[in-house]
Amino acid sequence: MDTPLTPSASTLPFRLKFRQLVLLDALGDSLSLRKAAALANLTQPAATRAMAELESAFGVQLFERSHRGMAPTVYGEALVRHARQVLFDVQRAHDEIQALRSGSHGFVRVGALLSSAVRMLPMAIGEVKRQFPRMRISVEQHPQLPLISKLREGSLDMVLCRLVTNSVDAESLDQVVLFDDDFVLVAGRNHRLARSKSLAMADLVDEPWVLPHAGGPLYDHVCALFLTQVGRLPANVVESTTSLVTNLMLIEHYGFLNFMQRSVAQTYTKRGVLRIMPISLGSPIGPHVVAVRRDTSHPPAVDALLKALQQVTAAAPEHD
């Protein structure tokens, strides 16, 4: 419940304790005060007092108590998110200091979509490592939404993703466009249609397909193509977006077709695994960008990798 008086922000640094932030982080995951208290190394009465102090400090109810546990209010969700950001920033400071103490150029945590992880990111990392062999680099691969979430909360320093257009997320990020990438039709090198010079969607609708998961913009774009040109959707379908290994096995060994990002498809075409066929979707989900948080300073390691990414992109030939 809101109190009549709004607490002054100037007093908060003197009222907040790090253990309260740890408690908030744990409570946001467990929704159980008993479990969160144990994770924060507090007794349950001490955790109860800590929550009361937090609610008093901010003047709002942070969690709603019930027999099922504790559910965050809208205020609680906001404070948990900011608490995690503070904790991640402290961890980042620790990691950077330890890296500098060890004689390296620092530490950077990178998240990437599959297409960036296949081509541009390894090239940029290779260039940075030539200059700073002892720089520590951590790489994670995730879909778009988890990447943006991890960047905003501070568990990643930078991400390579598609252009972020959601206004709430976009306003908190600095984005630099790296390259655009269309989606091309691919088949296994021995597929009966692999050497076709021209194709129509009607030639392909009865083939087995690997399609994106339903509900996303790419899936909608593929469906629109089939419905407008053929009048029906393929019946033999596997929905798979993030598992490249699975997709490649289905394409190469079981005759499935797939719309794949050109940069990824070119990599596997050069290896003799796939063939790019004469149908393209264009670029329905926007260009690739590198994004960092706008509200934080960037350590030298992040700046070095950002510079390398831009140099690698500028030097790369245009996609065929």
Regions in the chain scoring below 50 on pLDDT: 1-4, 319-320
Residue 231: exposure state from Cβ atoms within 10 A (0-12, 13-18, ≥19): exposed
**C-beta separation of 163 from 175 below 8 A:** yes
Task: Check residue 7 and give its pLDDT.
Answer: 67
Torsion angle in degrees (nearest 10) through CA of 189, 248, 121, 178:
70
The contacts of residue 206 (CB under 8 Å, 6+ apart) are 234, 235, 236
CA atoms lying within 13 Å on the CB side of residue 211: 24
Among candidate residues 190, 192, 181, the one with its CA nearest the CA of residue 288: 181
What does the alpha-carbon distance between residue 74 and residue 220 come to, in Å, rounded to a whole number? 32
Read off the amino acid at residue 18. Answer: F
What is the edge-to-edge ordering of all strands in the sheet holding 209-211? 237-239, 209-211, 257-261, 183-188, 274-282
Query: Which residues are bridge partners to 184 per DSSP?
Result: 260, 280
Query: Which residues are bridge partners to 137 per DSSP?
Result: 108
**C-beta separation of 208 from 214 below 8 A:** no
Read off the amino acid at residue 238. Answer: V
Please report, for residues 124, 143, 161, 309, 320, the alpha-carbon distance to residue 316 in angstroms, rounded to integers and kept in the order given. Answer: 11, 24, 18, 11, 12
What does the alpha-carbon distance between residue 48 and residue 42 come to, in Å, rounded to a whole number? 10
* pLDDT tens column, 205-220: 999 999 988 877 889 9
> Does this model's pTM top 0.85?
no
What does the alpha-carbon distance between residue 174 and residue 24 come to, in Å, rounded to a whole number? 28
**C-beta separation of 109 from 72 below 8 A:** no
Task: Check residue 179 and give its pLDDT.
Answer: 87
